[in-house]
Amino acid sequence: RKEVEQDPGPFNVPEGATVAFNCTYSNSASQSFFWYRQDCRKEPKLLMSVYSSGNEDGRFTAQLNRASQYISLLIRDSKLSDSATYLCVVNMRPNTDKLIFGTGTRLQVFP
Amino acid sequence: NAGVTQTPKFRVLKTGQSMTLLCAQDMNHEYMYWYRQDPGMGLRLIHYSVGEGTTAKGEVPDGYNVSRLKKQNFLLGLESAAPSQTSVYFCASRKATDPYEQYFGPGTRLTVT
């Protein structure tokens, strides 16, 4: 089983739609969770961290479910500029700063 | 403030050739990383460094060497390139006090024929 698993997509949604991605992780001792965004042929950039209580940043909401070992990203009112690949990232082992990256979920927003 | 830069952006090598990829950061970050990204796979850590003069192996270190002689630079070397090393290579850095946000360079696309 992969340490971090994501549905590769693509998710094709119209502008204004709400879309959600899930990501599962295998190690229950994982400490920290993030969503990175990667545009086509560009470098990954941190989108947001994911906290146990859930967190929101504008149109983006991230949630963590430790019991089921998954994190989610919800994007409301999708924009064309949201088209990208969203990488689920986990700090897999306690007391280490090494990050484990998922393969990414591709989102395509169309007019 | 350029952030993280990588040289070169593209390179084509023949099997057996050697090359060095250069990563430079101007943010005074202590930690630096080299990853490779292949289709259908997540970013995989090759080597990393927690400070000047120190390096450590990551998940896929075979066939690569690294050096961190200066705090701002992290070099990745391929001594004898193989087609399996065709990939996009990303360098990243971070502050010691911020464990989780890594800042990535624009990547180097390497093809080994």
Q: Do B90 and A43 touch (CB under 8 A)?
A: yes
The predicted model gives B75-92 an average pLDDT of 97
B103, B113 in Cβ contact below 8 A?
A: no
pLDDT classification of A109: cutoffs 50, 70, 90: very high
Provide CB contacts within 8 A for A2, sequence distance 6+: A26, A102
Per CB-CB distance under 8 Å, the chain B contacts of A98 are 45, 48, 58
**pLDDT beyond 60 at B100:** yes
Q: Does B46 touch chain A (CB under 8 A)?
A: no
**pLDDT beyond 80 at B99:** no
Task: Pick A49's closest partner by Cβ from B42, B100, B104.
Answer: B100
* Distance between CA atoms of residues A92 and A101, nearest Å: 10
The full DSSP string for B7-52 is E-SEEEE-TT--EEEEEEESS--SEEEEEEE-TTS--EEEEEEEET
The model's pLDDT over A46-88, given as tens digits with 9 standing for 90+, comes to: 999 898 888 999 999 999 999 999 999 999 999 999 999 999 9
Provide CB contacts within 8 A for A67, sequence distance 6+: none
The model's pLDDT over A15-38, given as tens digits with 9 standing for 90+, comes to: 999 999 999 998 888 778 999 999
pLDDT classification of A99: cutoffs 50, 70, 90: confident
Per CB-CB distance under 8 Å, the chain B contacts of A45 are 104
* Distance between CA atoms of residues B32 and B29, nearest Å: 7
Per CB-CB distance under 8 Å, the chain A contacts of B40 are 8, 103
pLDDT classification of A95: cutoffs 50, 70, 90: low
Q: Do B106 and A43 touch (CB under 8 A)?
A: yes
Nearest CA in chain A to B47: A98
Q: Do B101 and A46 touch (CB under 8 A)?
A: yes
* Distance between CA atoms of residues B87 and B111, nearest Å: 7
DSSP class of residue B105 equals -
Task: Pick B100's closest partner by Cβ from A8, A34, A103.
Answer: A34
pLDDT classification of A94: cutoffs 50, 70, 90: low
In sign, the C-alpha dihedral spanning B38, B42, B48, B51 is: positive
Token pair listed for B53: 């003069």
For residue B26, the model assigns a pLDDT of 96
CA distance A67 to chain B (A): 23
